[in-house]
Amino acid sequence: MEAWTGREPTRLPDPQGPRAPLRLFDTAAGRVRATQPGPTARMYVCGITPYDATHLGHAATYVAFDLVHRAWLDLGHAVHYVQNVTDVDDPLLERAVATGRDWRELARAETALFAEDMAALDVLPPQDYIGAVESIPSVVGWVRRLEAAGAVYQVDEDRYFDAAGAPGFGSVANLPEAAMRAIFAERGGDPDRPGKRHPLDPLLWQAERPDEPAWDTELGHGRPGWHIECTAIALDHLGMAFDVQGGGSDLAFPHHEMCAAQARVATGRAPFAQHFVHTGMVGYDGHKMSKSRGNLVFVSALRRDGVPPAAIRLALLAHHYRSDWEWTDADLAGATSRLERWRAALALPEGPAAAPVLESVRAALADDLDAPAALAAVDAWVAAALASPGSPTSALDRGAPGEVATALATLLGVHCS
């Protein structure tokens, strides 16, 4: 699939001392650990299921991983970023039926709108942007490898992965069995289907259902299960032991647990990813913002109302990526006035030196993406710049506003001009 295009980040000046690595909370380890990429950092972030427009919860998640992308680039790594689009799955097919639309046309329209929203929010694009439908031949190949490893069984014509029998199953989300069962049922699983070896085993391949799309393959006429889609795409494009597997906290279980277990069994190697990184859930009106509940604030609607995308981005960055938070009108009002202050300071002919604020922003982001601390450091520079007219010119730097503007665009993806 074609991803959107992004504005190329600028190379920023190196600091005096050694560079701190990017540290991120790893769900599997339960603590913050340094990322240690090679010359090319490798990241897989789960993409959308395109049956509705991008809401602020999605945007918060993709902006958080965009900070990872930008931090690695700033540290001098190349970044190989892969993202999928779940362009065939139950919720998409159900929405298409409910609205009388062709499922392909619905997926195409919502994928295009997502790309527009991501470009507007200055989220850097993935190099590989891969749909589930185009991955079907690859999925078939990976299911075959799981079969060769003896990890697949059939219930009627459907194929299941023997997850419960996989070594290390449970090591990503680290949840007790009872919690796994409850969540599995909520998030697309079928724990109660008779004939399964274990309630938590996920579907790998689903034989054709009436009125649903299906593809003719060696596995029969059907379509892939959800988790194997991301296992296949990540392994095809990144291989094992890539640096970060990312998504919202609702994906830790079962999705990332299953993806990792399938990959370990299919390849005989471990780990699937070095870090499993999860963003908090954005809520609205008392509940997690979700397409199924319908309590949504859309990025495209805010843009249509004339809200500058940089203000939306600032509103998202004002919350730490791991916290669950609730969107209110005050978020937007605060971000809009912050953007105005920043723009006013950056338009001044001179300001306090840029190097200290650049270092503060870098340090905050390296510390598990502490964007709120980064914004506070910029606020302090902005306040000093706005207070500075009349102070002795020797304390001010003529190049500083331009240098700070470049640093903000590069590290935070906030373009103020």
Binding region for Zn ion (CB under 5 A): 46, 230
Please list, in sequence order, all residues whose beta carbon lies within 8 angstroms of the beta carbon of residue 356, skipping any fewer than 6 positions away: 381
Q: In the beta sheet, which residues pair with residue 73?
A: none
Name the residue nearer to ligand 5CA (CB basis): 215 or 325: 325
Name the residue nearer to ligand 5CA (CB basis): 135 or 406: 135
Name the residue nearer to ligand 5CA (CB basis): 289 or 405: 289
Tokens 């502490």, residue?
370
φ/ψ region of 339 (left if φ > 0, alpha if ψ in -120 to 50, else beta) reads alpha
Q: In the beta sheet, which residues pair with residue 273?
A: 242
In three-state secondary structure terms, 184 is helix
The site partner of 59 among Zn ion, ligand 5CA, none (C-beta below 5 to 8 Å per kind) is: none
Question: 321-355: buried (b, 16+ CB within 10 Å) or exposed (e) per residue?
Answer: bbeebebeeebbeebbebbeebeebbebebbbbbb
Cα-to-chain-centroid distance, residue 172: 17
Name the residue nearer to ligand 5CA (CB basis): 292 or 393: 292
Q: Which CA distances in Å does 322 have to 62, 151, 249, 272, 393? A: 13, 34, 8, 22, 42
Cβ of residue 260: shortest distance to Zn ion, in angstroms?
Answer: 11
Name the residue nearer to Zn ion (CB basis): 230 or 282: 230
Cβ of residue 394: shortest distance to ligand 5CA, in angstroms?
Answer: 47
Cβ of residue 44: shortest distance to ligand 5CA, in angstroms?
Answer: 10
Cβ of residue 91: shortest distance to ligand 5CA, in angstroms?
Answer: 8
Q: Name the residues that contact ligand 5CA, by CB under 6 A.
A: 46-49, 57-58, 60-61, 84, 86, 230, 247-248, 250-251, 279, 281-282, 288-290
The site partner of 54 among ligand 5CA, Zn ion, none (C-beta below 5 to 8 Å per kind) is: none
Cβ of residue 203: shortest distance to Zn ion, in angstroms?
Answer: 14
Name the residue nearer to ligand 5CA (CB basis): 47 or 225: 47
The site partner of 274 among Zn ion, ligand 5CA, none (C-beta below 5 to 8 Å per kind) is: none
Cβ of residue 355: shortest distance to ligand 5CA, in angstroms?
Answer: 34
Kind of pairing, strands 78-85 and 158-161?
unpaired
What's the residue count for the chain?
417
The token pair that represents 340 in the structure block? 């105005």
The site partner of 262 among ligand 5CA, Zn ion, none (C-beta below 5 to 8 Å per kind) is: none
Order of strands across the sheet that contains 242-248: 128-131, 78-85, 40-45, 242-248, 273-279
Name the residue nearer to ligand 5CA (CB basis): 322 or 341: 322
Cβ of residue 123: shortest distance to Zn ion, in angstroms?
Answer: 17
